[in-house]
Structure 1
Amino acid sequence: MPRKAAVTSSETPAEPRRSTRVASLPKPEEPIKKPAKKSSGEKRTASDKADAGDGAGEESAAKKAKTTPDDSEEKDQLKDDEDEDAPQKPELAPINIGDSLPDITLKNEKDEDIKIAELAAEKGVIFFLVPKADTSGCTTQACGFRDSYPDFTGLDYTVYCLSADPPSAQLKWQTKKHLPYPLISDKKRVLITALGAGKNGKTARSHFIFEKGGKLIEKKQPVKPAESPVLALAFIKGLSEKHS
């Protein structure tokens, strides 16, 4: 048999042919990578913050809607309380000589209602005004009317002490000094101001005399504590002498 020719070193072996069947096969799909979970320390993205903000805003709006009516009611209640505690503006016209007792209701030392216009229906009335109960000058004035009280009642005049003190303070003073006449509380100085004795939140020491029927016939302001009962009694005695 004839020998095959030897392949020389200079000759390059032919490259093997690739199968077209293998090349035409589709490439395997790469696995889909899932996003890694965020750690607790990782910062939130802008979208996350926006979503959280929307939730917080809704919660805040709900709280506001819930609390606003209560806050409004509380403010209204506080306003009502302030209105009750605020000083009342005088509602009476000034009372001068010849004017009658006003239609107003005040409290006595027992916290009972006293209708001022009815006090002079049967007898004359004397109001003596004191700046503050149970103080030195006011006690002198009050005890002077106490000591001469039978003289006033004997001339058909009733005596009343008028001040801006609360009824409880007046009752304590009345009991302590054995005052025989009623004490009238005018805490907001409505009647006191109408009589011309209430200025700058204070009561001026004075006295006013109303005849039977309620007409003002005498006023003394200012007046000294010891002189007030003496002058009031002298005026009434003078009237009695004229009518006798």
Structure 2
Amino acid sequence: MPRKANPPHEAADGSAAEQPAPRRSTRLTAASAPDTTTGADAKSNSTKRTRVEEETDETPDANSKKAKSTGRKAKEPKEEASDGPAPSLSPVNIGDSLPSLVLKNEHDEDVDVATLTAEKGVVIFLVPKADTPGCTNQACGFRDSYPDFTSAGFDVYCLSADKPAAQNKWKMKKELPYALLSDPKRVLITALGAGEGGKTKRSHFIFEKGGRLVDKKIPVKPVDSPKLAYEFIETLSTE
């Protein structure tokens, strides 16, 4: 049989009395109440900071905290220069010899430029920056006429302030058959008279076997540089 609902309590006047409100558990009330103690807040904040640091794999430092409070980007620490001041060379003019200076080639190998003319003459052409339109035009011109220079007894070198890695990438991209020399501090570039204001002037220099400078063109147009250099070398063979 279905259970009958309990009849409502009657008041003294015969009306139905209100049911008493259900009692709440004091244990549940205490558990749901937030902990407002200072120690609990500090522990919670510390836990949050730890989780953020683990997710970003970084530990905030004084600069980042300061930047966060001011809304500015933290400054990166400046790198200290590992090398000393750039060495200087005497100016190289017509009739002077190619000086001794160790530079890196495109393979990051040391090259003493004074040894380049021991067995052959040398054409050194200078470009402002690797893999740019004008410099590529000049470099490809020497690439296409490279067999003519080697047949005449001259090696070809490209000289710039670019790093060896950038030079090697450019060489592979354009299939340049000659070596590239890196002069990041523009020591030889300045001695040749092609360094001014932290830039490299497009130019070329011709050294005969033994190292004596016999011709230079500064500045020179990209398309004219290979042609003028070879025309001068042809005049040497007729002397």
TM-score by length of 2: 0.66
**Residues in 2 aligned to 1:236 and 1:139: alpha-carbon distance in whole angstroms:** 22
Give the secondary structure class of the aligned counterpart of 1:217. strand
Please, which of 157, 163, 187 is the counterpart of residue 160 of structure 1?
157
CA distance in 1, matches of 2:146, 2:139: 10
Q: How does 1:120-139 map to 2 (within 5 A)?
A: 120-139=117-136
Q: Which residues in structure 2 correspond to 1:83-162 (within 5 Å)?
A: 83-84=81-82, 88-162=85-159
Number of residue-to-residue matches in the alignment: 163
1:180 maps onto 2:177 in alignment: yes
Secondary structure of the corresponding residue to residue 123 of structure 2:
strand
Distance of 2:83 and 2:197 partners within structure 1 = 17
Q: Could you tell me how far 1:90 is from its partner in structure 2?
A: 4.5
- Identify the residue that residue 20 of structure 2 maps to in structure 1: none
Q: Percent identity?
A: 67
What value does the CA root-mean-square deviation take over the aligned residues? 1.6
Which ranges of structure 2 fall in alignment gaps of 5 or more residues?
Answer: 1-76
- Structure 2 SS opposite 1:126: strand
Q: In structure 2, give the amino acid aligned to 1:102.
A: P
SS of the residue aligned with 1:192? helix
Structure 1 ranges of 4+ moved more than 4 A: none
CA distance in 1, matches of 2:138, 2:87: 26
Amino acid at match of 1:82: E
* 1:233-244 aligned within 5 A: 233-242=230-239
Q: Deviations over 1:102-149 (max 9, x none)?
A: 111000000000011100000000100000000000000000000000
Shift of 1:82: 3.0
For the residue of structure 2 that corresponds to 1:98, the secondary structure is: coil
Matched ranges for 1:212-223 at <5 A:
212-223=209-220
Q: Which runs of 5+ in 1 are unaligned?
A: 1-77
Measured against aligned partners, the alpha-carbon deviations of 1:40-69 in whole angstroms (never above 9, x if no partner) come to xxxxxxxxxxxxxxxxxxxxxxxxxxxxxx
User: If you compute each CA radius of gyration, which structure gives the higher value, 1 or 2?
Assistant: 1
d(CA) in 2 for partners of 1:225 and 1:183? Answer: 17
Amino acid at match of 1:169: A
Distance in 2, matches of 1:124 and 1:131, equals 23
